[in-house]
Each structure stands twice: as C-alpha cells, then as structure tokens.
Chains A and B, each alone.
Chain A
Amino acid sequence: AQRVTQPEKLLSVFKGAPVELKCNYSYSGSPELFWYVQYSRQRLQLLLRHISRESIKGFTADLNKGETSFHLKKPFAQEEDSAMYYCALSGRSSSNTGKLIFGQGTTLQVKP
C-alpha cells in the first residue's frame, strides 16, 4: 500500500532550537519525496524535493531508503517557520502521472 505517515500532529519549539519533522513512507517501488508547506492564509507550496538535494529556507531533508523516511530538518528554527508541513510522495512508474500522496500534516509552532 502507498502511504505517507507523519506521526506528529503538532511540534512546538522555541526560536533558535533545532527542528525535525518526521515522515515515513510505504511504497513498493522508487518514489519521489516532497515537503510542502502552507503558511497562514496562503496556499500550499512546494518547499523541497529529494531529487534536488537543496536547502530551502535553511531546511534540508534526506531520503533514507533503508528506514523509508524523509525527515525535514532545520538547525535553528525561526518564528516565520511556523506553518503546516506536509510530506508527500509521487511514484516513479509508467502508470503514475504525478499523483501526490500526502501525509496528514504537522503543525510547526515556533515560540519566541
């Protein structure tokens, strides 16, 4: 079964503290993994994807195929990072045309 699990509904940290948003996936094949973010009163937008291996707004995520995880990390949280974060996957197969499977989301709250 194709599934994305984000075990924490809410993660609350203080400004300057490290952040790790957890994401585990189940997929029989070679998926592409993404993190999407939704800031207050804004639309869902792509934060980063594993194939680009970029750091966006200080966030990084490494795909661990052994543990089937794609955790999102930032060494020093900022108040403007407060948002809803969704982990998502897209399968790499001829029958898959970019359908995204989302986790339930984690609300990150960064306190001053």
Chain B
Amino acid sequence: GAGVSQSPSNKVTEKGKDVELRCDPISGHTALYWYRQRLGQGLEFLIYFQGNSAPDKSGLPSDRFSAERTGESVSTLTIQRTQQEDSAVYLCASSLGYQALRRPTYNEQFFGPGTRLTVL
C-alpha cells in the first residue's frame, strides 16, 4: 500500500488475555519500529527490526511483550496476559533502513495510524 497500515485500529480486551497487533510497512522499507504512546505522553521505543532481525529489543517493557517479523514485511507485536497498564496506542513506523553495504542511508520514519489498546 501507499503507507504504513496497522490492524486492528481499536482493540478492547480483558485483563489476562493475549493480544496480537499487526503492522504492514511501506513496500521496500527494510526497517520497522514499534512504539507505545500512553495518553498524553510522548512515544516510547519498544523494538526495531532491520529485515527479520531485531538488533535492539531493549525497549520491550517485560517478557510478556514479544515481536516478530516475516520477510521484510509484516510484523506482529504480541502482548501476553495483558494488564491494565498496557492500555495505550501502539504505533508502528517503517523506513528505508540500511543499504546492502551497511552504510546509514536516508532513514526517515513514516508512521501508521496506530492501534488503540484498552485493557479492562
């Protein structure tokens, strides 16, 4: 598609349930990012993918959070045993990423519309 898409746009779940959030990056973008934004707050970095690998997972808040990416395409963020403090908007972004020669490239991020997660 033309931009980054995310699904679902809204998710309401009960405490203790697992949820999966999906991100489709811009075609051709090798880098993909997940962020969390709590109400009225800034963006909190969660994880970054370059291709299929995740060089930096340090932002994941706990072991209940995991993410994977297949090919240089779709990524899913999974939250197990959701808690009320997980309620937030989860934003995905993509960028061109690194060139094959591993030189930093023009790396502007483009964001999707987000998934609003509410844990009751």
A binds B: no
Taking Cβ atoms with an 8 Å cutoff, the residues of A that contact B are none
Taking Cβ atoms with an 8 Å cutoff, the residues of B that contact A are none
